[in-house]
Structure 1
Amino acid sequence: MSSPSSSSDPAAAATAINKKLHDALPPAVADKIHLPESAAEAKEEAKAAVSAGAAQVRSLVAGGFGGVCAVVVGHPFDLVKVRLQTAEKGVYSSAIDVVRKSIARDGLRRGLYAGVSAPLVGVTPMFAVSFWGYDLGKSIVRSTYNLAPDASLSIAQISAAGFFSAIPMTAITAPFERVKVILQVQGQKPLAPGEKPKYAGASDVVRQLYRSGGVRSVFRGSAATLARDGPGSAAYFAAYEYIKKALTPRDPVTGEASGKLSLGAVTLAGAGAGIAMWIPVFPIDTVKSRLQTAEGNVTIGGVVRGLYKAGGYRAFFPGIGPALARAAPANAATFLGVELAHQAMNKTFG
């Protein structure tokens, strides 16, 4: 039964509940649970919640637009990387040889953009979730360390937020990567006269995979994808923020930031971030590509042993040149697209 104070004075009741929570719970927990004790406080908290929600929506939109920019710029490089990673020894002599043979066989558009439909369809939610997850990860880090919402984070804290961004993203990335690499590899196999490709397109890949092995087959390589994207995203966002900070104009006397970062500097930071992401995780990406394109039941351990037996440590790095060549322009385009999207939304919605 409600006490008289709770029915007649909601503010007093909220104050009493807050005191009980503070006394009963550890300070680290109690500080995060608080009931508004006045109409003004409730209004302020509602306004803050709406603002935080709007910021997350903007992160989703900006990330999606940045992802489309990345695919348009980087897909040909990615196609070359995957074909080098999955081709039998001797099929291609170099990255240039992949490009030459792909164009000769299928023309410029189909030769260099085979399998592009899957990443184009998936890239908007994929990158949107990545940048949303990164912003959410930063909020979690600030909450964990009791930092102010606008407090700057250390490189280690940024890395933790970046790693977190890969967790929700993997649910989207893994199946789309599976479809993409299957279509990319299919494009390198010569067909007999009158023979049709095994898969007619992205939706046909999903249909056949599901028919043969259910959801598990569609999501094959999810663990390898997370093993790649977790540390890769940590390095990605940490490098981006570090380069941005280094390029930010500063007052020569105080050392404080004295101006906004130019779009050229954002582009350069994005390019550096892309390279930083690929260097530590490329061998994992090779294993993932092999795992997702292999026929029958395969395991990560089996793929690793097979690669090492075939070519030692070098077998884990085919296509690293095209991957790094793609990383700079594609991720420069990503962050430039994200920044331009944010600027457009700020101008439109304030």
Structure 2
Amino acid sequence: METDSLIISERSRQQPRNEALRDIVNGSVAGALGKIIEYPFDTVKVRLQTQGAHIFPTTWSCIRYTYRNEGILKGFFQGIGSPICGSALENAVLFVSYNQCARLLEKHTNCSSLQQIILSGAFAGSCASLVLTPVELVKCKLQVSNLGSHKPVKILPTIKQVLKESGVGGLWQGQSGTFIRESLGGIAWFATYELLKDHFLQRHKDGGADGINKTWELLVSGGSAGLAFNASIFPADTLKSKMQTEQRSLLSSATKIMRQAGLSGFYRGLGITLVRAVPANAVVFYTFETLSQM
């Protein structure tokens, strides 16, 4: 009996560790796949956010310029190495921190399911912002490096330049904008996905079916989560991009955008961002769910 109790105790300690490791691995794979899909759209979005309307009056003008002058790989996929690694790490942090926080809240508090989702989503986004800021700093600099008089650069020279000019802290330029975006966006992202997924499951129960989501339901829930995330935090994302490409403070970036373009300046590139959000986030959540069930 004593031996059996020790075995059970050991298994109970290993289970949370195994769940966390599974979330990390599955989140990494899902994030990398989603980033490959969304990256060309993200390049256009960053250029619209950081360049004035006199350079790119419309989204199509930016796409046309990038394709004609830089091609597909050097234009739309410039600097993708850093974001793939960053997205893998970001989604690993997002899913493991979200699930671990949700489990703790469920075990130690009397929070409702919605409160658990909100608190866990905010916590997960906050954690991810610390990882994401340096990655997006390099990404944004590479995405605009071909414009104007800038010469094309690579990941390591860009990092070295940042360290030389601003030290280690320079890698977290734009952290305040990223923190605001990710903490609020984490709520919108996870809440939309979880609530839609549960809604579809409830329809199953009403119809007498099993409690497993169909493929299209997971894809719709994931795509909708991407729409909710980007639509809710886009002004903060614009500020973050401006801060990282021009080394400005949060207030200075907001003032410059307002002075040059007014409120509409905070939403330049929103259209193509919403277009990219649907397939990318559908793939992220579907991949994570599929791997988790294997």
Give the TM-score normalised by structure 2: 0.94
Query: Can you list the C-alpha shifts for 1:62-95, whole angstroms capped at 9, x where unaligned?
Result: 1001101111110011111100000023111211
Alpha-carbon distance in 2 for matches of 1:251, 1:206: 52
Aligned to 2:179: 226
Write the letter of the residue equivalent to 2:105.
Answer: V
Q: Secondary structure at the match of 1:251?
A: helix
Equivalent position to 1:273, from 202, 218, 225 = 225
Q: Match of 1:130?
A: 94
For residues 111 and 89 of structure 1, what CA distance do their matches in structure 2 show?
19
Q: Within the alignment, does 1:76 sit opposite 2:40 as a pair? A: yes
Q: Tell whether 2:224 aligns with 1:246.
A: no
Q: CA RMSD in A?
A: 1.9
8 Å contact from structure 1 (residues 102, 188) kept in 2 = no
Residue 53 of structure 2 is aligned to residue 89 of structure 1: yes
Counterpart for residue 14 of structure 2: 50
Structure 1 unaligned regions, length at least 5: 1-36, 148-152, 192-196
Aligned to 1:324: 274
Q: In the alignment, which residue of structure 2 is the partner of 1:176? A: 135
What is the alpha-carbon distance in structure 1 between the residues aligned to residue 242 and residue 19 of structure 2? 38
Alignment-mate amino acid for residue 240 of structure 1: Y
Provide the secondary structure at the position in 1 that maps to 2:144.
helix
Q: Indicate the residue corresponding to 1:99 in structure 2.
A: 63
CA contact (8 A) 2:219 2:285 kept: yes
> Per-residue CA shift, 1:256-297, capped at 9, x if unaligned?
8733101221111100000111112111110000000004xx
CA distance in 2 between counterparts of 1:69 and 1:265 reads 19
Alignment of 1:1-350 (within 5 A): 40-145=4-109, 154-189=113-148, 197=151, 200-248=153-201, 249-252=203-206, 258-295=210-247, 298-343=248-293, 346=294
Contact 1:71 1:120 in 2 (8 A): yes
Deviations 1:30-85 (A, max 9, x none): xxxxxxx9654443232111111111101001100110111111001111110000
Contact persistence 1:178–1:218 (CA under 8 A): yes
Deviation at 1:144, TM superposition (A): 3.4
Aligned residues: 293
Tell me the residue number matched to 1:13.
Answer: none
Equivalent-residue separation in structure 2 for 1:227 and 1:304 (angstroms): 14
The one-letter code matched in structure 1 to 2:254 is V
Q: Which has the higher helix share?
A: 2
